[in-house]
Amino acid sequence: MTLQLGDVAPDFSAETTLGKINFHEWLGDSWGILFSHPADFTPVCTTELGTTAKLKGEFEKRNVKVVALSVDPLDSHHEWIKDINETQSTEVNFPIIADSDQKVAQLYGMIHPNASDKLTVRSVYVIGPDKKIKLTITYPASTGRNFNELLRVIDSLQLTANYSVATPANWQHGEDVVIAPAIKNEDIPAKFPKGYKEVKPYLRTTPQPNL
């Protein structure tokens, strides 16, 4: 299954390390990140899940719920968590889906047969409160994810969902943003009272409006 931006994220029920969840119900009115791991007891995944646990406060600040997935069974997950907590000096504080039948992995297209017909690639889905997919990133199994980038794109997605702006290359929270082309110059003062700079008629910047 190929999921595209704007598609409704498929709903599912699954057993996790924190009990059974019904995905849409579990998300509620939060944003969500669903991300997959090739297998338990693998080195890169161990560092990623440790990093995710350490960022709990950052995700909560952004109203984001995080859930991981591996195609190994639940008892394996619980044993792996002990290693993650020990080696990464943290406590795993989010659910990990047990997907030994690959039901969820297939539903989200996390198995790429040319890479592996059994293990998931490192898929990331950012899902909005409307349950629609806002961002997808796919990494090969050998490359660990950049979690600072995930926080950055969530900041951008949440900003652009509420204001008529886009974020430029390498944008970081607190920097100027780009005014949407559909906004006429005469309407800018009412929408963006902090002022704006016209670099070109199609390229107008303004201070981040929600600060």
Q: Which of 14, 27, 45, 96 is catalytic?
A: 45
Q: Which amino acid is at 91?
A: E
99 CB-near residues (< 8 Å, 6+ apart): 14, 69, 70, 71, 105
Query: What are the residue ranges spanned by the domains of the chain?
Result: 13-144, 163-206
Residues paired with residue 31 on neighbouring β-strands, in sequence order? 64
Distance CA 15, CA 70 (A): 11
Determine how many CB atoms are found less than 10 A away from the CB of residue 192: 20
Residue that is written with structure tokens 């890479």 in the block: 115
**What is the DSSP track for 130-147?**
TSBEEEEEEE-TTS---H
Per-residue pLDDT of the chain (211 residues; tens, 9 = 90+): 589 999 999 999 999 999 999 999 999 999 999 999 888 999 999 999 999 999 999 999 999 999 999 989 999 999 999 999 999 999 999 999 999 999 998 999 887 655 555 566 689 999 999 999 999 999 888 899 999 999 999 999 999 999 999 999 999 999 999 999 999 999 999 999 999 999 999 999 999 999 9
**Superfamily of domain 163-206 in the CATH hierarchy:** Antioxidant, Horf6; Chain A, domain2 (3.30.1020.10)
96 is an active site residue: no
Determine how many CB atoms are found less than 10 A away from the CB of residue 41: 13
**Domain 13-144: assigned CATH number:** 3.40.30.10
Among candidates 26, 86, 64, which has minimal Cα distance to 147? 64
Residues paired with residue 122 on neighbouring β-strands, in sequence order? 139
